[in-house]
Amino acid sequence: MMKLEMTNLEQTTALAVELGHRAFKGMVVTLDGDLGAGKTTFTQGFAKGLGVTRNVNSPTFTIMKVYTGRLPLYHMDVYRLEGGDDIGLEEYLNGDGVAVVEWSELIADVLPPERLAITIERTGDDSRRFLLEPIGEQYIKICEGLYP
Ligand code: ADP
Ligand code: MG
Protein backbone atom coordinates (compact mmCIF):
# COMPACT_ATOMS: atom_id res chain seq x y z
CA MET A 1 0.00 0.00 0.00
CA MET A 2 1.41 3.38 -1.05
CA LYS A 3 0.23 6.60 0.52
CA LEU A 4 0.71 9.72 -1.61
CA GLU A 5 -0.18 13.16 -0.30
CA MET A 6 -1.33 15.51 -3.06
CA THR A 7 -1.20 19.13 -2.00
CA ASN A 8 -3.02 20.51 -5.03
CA LEU A 9 -4.95 19.67 -8.18
CA GLU A 10 -1.83 19.84 -10.36
CA GLN A 11 -0.19 17.06 -8.35
CA THR A 12 -3.23 14.84 -8.71
CA THR A 13 -3.26 15.47 -12.44
CA ALA A 14 0.46 14.74 -12.74
CA LEU A 15 0.06 11.44 -10.90
CA ALA A 16 -2.92 10.48 -13.03
CA VAL A 17 -1.18 11.39 -16.31
CA GLU A 18 1.85 9.34 -15.29
CA LEU A 19 -0.31 6.30 -14.52
CA GLY A 20 -2.07 6.80 -17.85
CA HIS A 21 1.34 6.69 -19.55
CA ARG A 22 2.10 3.44 -17.79
CA ALA A 23 -1.28 1.84 -18.52
CA PHE A 24 -1.27 -1.57 -20.16
CA LYS A 25 -3.73 -3.71 -22.08
CA GLY A 26 -6.33 -5.21 -19.76
CA MET A 27 -5.52 -2.87 -16.88
CA VAL A 28 -8.18 -2.23 -14.26
CA VAL A 29 -8.07 0.80 -11.95
CA THR A 30 -10.68 1.12 -9.22
CA LEU A 31 -11.44 4.47 -7.63
CA ASP A 32 -13.21 4.79 -4.32
CA GLY A 33 -13.79 7.77 -2.07
CA ASP A 34 -16.58 10.18 -1.22
CA LEU A 35 -18.35 12.46 -3.66
CA GLY A 36 -15.91 15.22 -4.58
CA ALA A 37 -12.85 13.20 -3.57
CA GLY A 38 -11.42 13.45 -7.06
CA LYS A 39 -12.29 10.19 -8.84
CA THR A 40 -13.43 11.86 -12.05
CA THR A 41 -10.60 14.40 -11.85
CA PHE A 42 -8.12 11.53 -11.60
CA THR A 43 -9.77 9.79 -14.56
CA GLN A 44 -9.43 12.94 -16.68
CA GLY A 45 -5.67 13.07 -16.08
CA PHE A 46 -5.35 9.33 -16.57
CA ALA A 47 -7.18 9.56 -19.90
CA LYS A 48 -4.85 12.33 -20.99
CA GLY A 49 -1.84 10.16 -20.17
CA LEU A 50 -3.44 7.36 -22.15
CA GLY A 51 -3.67 9.63 -25.18
CA VAL A 52 -7.40 10.32 -25.06
CA THR A 53 -7.99 13.71 -26.67
CA ARG A 54 -11.74 13.98 -26.07
CA ASN A 55 -12.91 15.61 -22.88
CA VAL A 56 -13.73 13.04 -20.22
CA ASN A 57 -16.67 13.84 -17.98
CA SER A 58 -18.69 12.04 -15.37
CA PRO A 59 -20.54 9.04 -16.80
CA THR A 60 -22.93 8.90 -13.83
CA PHE A 61 -26.08 8.76 -15.94
CA THR A 62 -24.73 6.37 -18.52
CA ILE A 63 -22.76 4.03 -16.20
CA MET A 64 -20.06 3.67 -18.83
CA LYS A 65 -18.40 5.65 -21.59
CA VAL A 66 -15.79 4.41 -24.02
CA TYR A 67 -12.96 6.68 -25.18
CA THR A 68 -10.29 6.13 -27.79
CA GLY A 69 -6.66 6.52 -26.77
CA ARG A 70 -3.46 4.50 -27.17
CA LEU A 71 -5.74 1.77 -25.78
CA PRO A 72 -9.53 1.98 -25.43
CA LEU A 73 -10.59 3.52 -22.13
CA TYR A 74 -13.74 2.23 -20.44
CA HIS A 75 -14.78 4.80 -17.87
CA MET A 76 -17.42 3.48 -15.50
CA ASP A 77 -19.27 5.15 -12.66
CA VAL A 78 -21.40 2.50 -11.03
CA TYR A 79 -22.91 4.77 -8.37
CA ARG A 80 -26.37 4.55 -9.91
CA LEU A 81 -26.22 0.93 -10.94
CA GLU A 82 -29.21 -0.88 -9.45
CA GLY A 83 -28.53 -4.15 -7.68
CA GLY A 84 -29.38 -6.94 -10.06
CA ASP A 85 -28.72 -4.87 -13.19
CA ASP A 86 -26.58 -6.83 -15.57
CA ILE A 87 -25.27 -4.52 -18.24
CA GLY A 88 -22.25 -6.60 -19.17
CA LEU A 89 -19.59 -4.65 -17.30
CA GLU A 90 -17.61 -7.85 -16.80
CA GLU A 91 -16.87 -7.99 -20.48
CA TYR A 92 -15.15 -4.61 -20.22
CA LEU A 93 -13.45 -5.44 -16.93
CA ASN A 94 -11.85 -8.39 -18.66
CA GLY A 95 -11.43 -6.69 -22.03
CA ASP A 96 -8.50 -5.51 -24.09
CA GLY A 97 -8.75 -1.89 -23.10
CA VAL A 98 -8.21 -0.12 -19.80
CA ALA A 99 -11.07 0.05 -17.30
CA VAL A 100 -11.40 2.81 -14.71
CA VAL A 101 -14.22 2.25 -12.24
CA GLU A 102 -15.61 4.93 -9.93
CA TRP A 103 -17.40 3.59 -6.82
CA SER A 104 -15.99 0.12 -7.44
CA GLU A 105 -16.91 -1.08 -3.96
CA LEU A 106 -20.50 -1.33 -5.26
CA ILE A 107 -19.49 -4.00 -7.75
CA ALA A 108 -16.86 -5.71 -5.62
CA ASP A 109 -18.21 -9.13 -6.61
CA VAL A 110 -17.36 -8.70 -10.31
CA LEU A 111 -13.95 -7.01 -9.99
CA PRO A 112 -11.01 -9.02 -11.27
CA PRO A 113 -8.64 -10.10 -8.50
CA GLU A 114 -5.67 -8.23 -9.99
CA ARG A 115 -6.05 -4.48 -10.23
CA LEU A 116 -4.84 -1.10 -9.02
CA ALA A 117 -7.15 -0.18 -6.17
CA ILE A 118 -7.08 3.55 -5.41
CA THR A 119 -8.83 5.18 -2.48
CA ILE A 120 -8.95 8.97 -2.37
CA GLU A 121 -9.47 10.95 0.81
CA ARG A 122 -10.16 14.67 0.93
CA THR A 123 -7.67 16.18 3.38
CA GLY A 124 -8.43 19.84 2.60
CA ASP A 125 -9.92 22.10 -0.08
CA ASP A 126 -7.07 21.42 -2.48
CA SER A 127 -5.33 18.47 -0.87
CA ARG A 128 -6.04 14.77 -1.24
CA ARG A 129 -4.55 11.57 0.14
CA PHE A 130 -4.17 8.80 -2.45
CA LEU A 131 -3.91 5.26 -1.18
CA LEU A 132 -2.64 3.00 -3.94
CA GLU A 133 -2.98 -0.72 -3.51
CA PRO A 134 -1.49 -2.57 -6.48
CA ILE A 135 -2.73 -6.14 -6.52
CA GLY A 136 -0.73 -8.44 -8.78
CA GLU A 137 2.76 -8.42 -10.29
CA GLN A 138 2.03 -6.08 -13.22
CA TYR A 139 0.37 -3.55 -10.96
CA ILE A 140 3.16 -3.57 -8.40
CA LYS A 141 5.60 -2.92 -11.24
CA ILE A 142 3.76 0.08 -12.71
CA CYS A 143 3.52 1.70 -9.27
CA GLU A 144 7.27 1.73 -8.79
CA GLY A 145 8.82 5.16 -8.47
CA LEU A 146 5.64 7.20 -8.38
CA TYR A 147 5.96 10.54 -6.62
CA PRO A 148 3.41 13.17 -5.73
P1 ADP B 1 -15.59 12.54 -7.60
O2 ADP B 1 -15.56 12.01 -9.00
O3 ADP B 1 -14.75 11.73 -6.64
O4 ADP B 1 -16.96 12.76 -7.08
P5 ADP B 1 -14.60 15.00 -8.78
O6 ADP B 1 -13.33 14.64 -9.45
O7 ADP B 1 -15.81 15.14 -9.62
O8 ADP B 1 -14.86 13.96 -7.58
O9 ADP B 1 -14.43 16.34 -7.96
C10 ADP B 1 -13.26 16.66 -7.26
C11 ADP B 1 -13.24 18.16 -7.07
O12 ADP B 1 -12.19 18.52 -6.19
C13 ADP B 1 -12.99 18.88 -8.38
O14 ADP B 1 -13.77 20.06 -8.41
C15 ADP B 1 -11.50 19.22 -8.31
O16 ADP B 1 -11.16 20.36 -9.06
C17 ADP B 1 -11.34 19.47 -6.82
N18 ADP B 1 -9.96 19.31 -6.33
C19 ADP B 1 -9.28 20.23 -5.64
N20 ADP B 1 -8.07 19.81 -5.32
C21 ADP B 1 -7.94 18.57 -5.82
C22 ADP B 1 -6.88 17.61 -5.80
N23 ADP B 1 -5.69 17.84 -5.20
N24 ADP B 1 -7.10 16.43 -6.41
C25 ADP B 1 -8.29 16.17 -7.00
N26 ADP B 1 -9.31 17.03 -7.04
C27 ADP B 1 -9.15 18.23 -6.46
MG1 MG C 1 -17.11 11.22 -10.26
User: Ligand nearest 80 Cα, by number?
Assistant: 2
Distance CA 47, CA 21 (A): 9
Q: Is the CB of 12 under 6 A from ligand 1?
A: yes
Banded model confidence at residue 61, pLDDT cuts 50, 70, 90? confident
Average pLDDT, the chain: 94
Q: Is domain 2-81+88-142 classified as CATH 3.40.50.300?
A: yes
Query: What pLDDT, on the 0 to 100 scale, is given for residue 18?
Result: 98
Q: Is the CB of 9 under 6 A from ligand 1?
A: yes
Query: What pLDDT, on the 0 to 100 scale, is given for residue 33?
Result: 98
Query: What pLDDT, on the 0 to 100 scale, is given for residue 60?
Result: 63
Task: Give the start-to-end residue ranges of the domains of the chain.
Answer: 2-81+88-142
Nearest alpha carbon to residue 29 among 4, 37, 38, 39: 39
Summarised one tens digit per residue, pLDDT across range 106-138 is 999 999 999 999 999 999 999 999 999 999 999
SS3 21: helix
